[in-house]
Amino acid sequence: MSTVIQNLLARKQKLIEQLDLTQDVEQRQEIERQLQQVNTALDLLDRPKQARK
The tens digit of pLDDT for each residue in 1-53 reads: 689 999 999 999 999 999 999 999 999 999 999 999 999 999 999 877 654 34
Domain assignment present for residue 42? The answer is yes
Angle, vertex CA 12, rays to CA 11 and CA 14, nearest 5: 65
User: What's the pLDDT score for residue 53?
Assistant: 43
Q: How many domains does the chain have?
A: 1
Domain assignment present for residue 33? The answer is yes
CB contact at 8 A, 32 and 19:
yes
Domain assignment present for residue 41? The answer is yes
Domain range holding 30?
3-46
User: What's the pLDDT score for residue 51?
Assistant: 43
Q: Which of 33, 31, 30, 44 is nearest to 2 (CA)?
A: 44
Domain assignment present for residue 51? The answer is no
User: What's the pLDDT score for residue 33?
Assistant: 98
Which amino acid is residue 33, in one-letter code? R
Domain assignment present for residue 19? The answer is yes
Q: How far apart are CA 19 and CA 35, in angstroms?
A: 10
Domain assignment present for residue 52? The answer is no
